[in-house]
Structure 1
Amino acid sequence: MEYFRIKQDPECLEAVVIPDAIKQIDRRYVTPEEADRIEDVTVFRLDGTDYPEFIDILDRQLFLVSSQLKEVFGLYVPKLKYKIVIVANSEKGLVNTYHLPIFAPVDCLSEQSVMTPDKKNVRKLVLKQSLLGRKAIFKVQHDFENIIIARLDAAESMLRRNLRGIKMVRVELD
């Protein structure tokens, strides 16, 4: 089986950036066990004079998906819980809703993965295939980085839709 890391396309230079998102939502609480510590709806105010592009995936501080991408996730992980994140600039009339998926992290990072010296980022991602089971979309256990993986069929389903700002990178398995 093939797997792909799904992430925000770095070529989307005009993508919305949420200032200090992790000050309002602590990343440590984005787990099924701690999710009750996160508000059901969080509003982030956008500042600045530009008009950002609201793409379908944001992963700079938190992993957020659009409503359309949430529907695709629902096809493959129907019991996945979400928190709502509203991004708004009332002066410009800009409002968009994103969803924060609450994944149970899967400890499947292989020893063959290559980390940065400070262990905060994964330079080369390798997953232990024996620990993946039949999961279609899941989060890899990592303290500093949002690593979301999609099985081939789920990745193809995302590609068939007109989603913007998503990059998929094939993942090595051992």
Structure 2
Amino acid sequence: MNYFIMMQDDRISNAIEPVGVSEVISAEKVVDEQIYKIDKLNLQFPVREKEVVEYVDFIQRPVSLLSDKLKQLIEKYVPDIYTKSVVLVDINRVRQDLYWLVVPPRIKCLSHQSEFHKDGTVKKLVIDEKKVASYKVFKIDGIMEEYTVISLDVAESLLRRDFMGIRLKKIEKQSMQKEVI
């Protein structure tokens, strides 16, 4: 099966930007063992003031946030995925929008064929398909980047609908060829 990195479309320069999220939701809290700390929080954040704001369906940074419509689609494939409601408030437009913090499971699926830059970031991402065969949405354990990965069937379903602000990048699968030395 093929897998894709789900990314926020950086071509949309006026996408909605929540402010102050990283002060409340740190990367350490967005892991399975620490998720209970988020459950107790009432998450409401203002958005950065802009002349025009596009309400995209996927916000990648500082944490992964899904629109309500995208969350409903993801839950059809992964009913037990952890989500927490987040309200984004645009005071100037007197508008509140419901987004969802999503915390997919972290899977150790890196292939030995993956390559890294000197600073530890991914140069060439290759996953071991056997380790992720049963997962539809997940994050990759063992890399610095916070990639949200979706399976081919989720990607196809996403593309059949009118979601805005989402790009998909195909991930390489581990080749089964033996190296000759």
Question: Structure 1-normalised TM-score?
Answer: 0.91
In the alignment, structure 1 segments of 5+ residues that lack a partner are none
Q: Distance in 2 between matches of 1:47 and 1:168?
A: 25
User: For residues 74-153 of structure 1, what are the structure 2 equivalents within 5 Å?
Assistant: 74-119=75-120, 121-142=121-142, 144-153=144-153
Answer yes or no: is the 8 Å Cα contact 2:111–2:128 preserved in 1.
yes
Q: Offset of 1:95 from its aligned partner? A: 1.8
Does the 8 Å CA contact 2:104/2:137 hold for their aligned counterparts?
no
Alpha-carbon contact 1:40-1:83 (below 8 Å) kept: no
Structure 1 residues 9 and 49 mapped into 2: Cα distance closer, same or farther (>3 Å)?
closer
Provide the C-alpha distance between the structure 2 equivalents of 1:33 and 1:166, rounded to a whole number of angstroms: 28
Q: Which runs of 4+ in 1 moved over 6 A?
A: none
The answer to whether the 8 Å contact 2:14/2:50 transfers is no
User: How many angstroms does 1:45 deviate by?
Assistant: 1.3
Deviations 1:96-148 (CA, angstroms, capped at 9, x unpaired) = 111011222111122322333222x3232211112112211111124642211
TM-score (norm 2): 0.88
1:27 equivalent in structure 2: 27
**Is residue 37 of structure 2 the alignment partner of residue 41 of structure 1?**
no
RMSD across aligned C-alpha pairs, in angstroms? 1.6
**Contact 1:30 1:103 survives alignment (8 Å):** no
SS in 1 for 2:5: strand
* Bigger Rg, which one: 2
- 2: CA distance between counterparts of 1:81 and 1:11? 29
Whole-Å separation in 2 of the counterparts to 1:20 and 1:143? 25
Q: Is the 8 A contact 2:114 2:127 kept in 1?
A: yes
Distance in 1, matches of 2:41 and 2:109, equals 29
Q: Secondary structure at the match of 1:71?
A: helix
Return closer, same or farther for 1:109/1:128 CA change in 2, 3 Å cut-off.
Answer: same
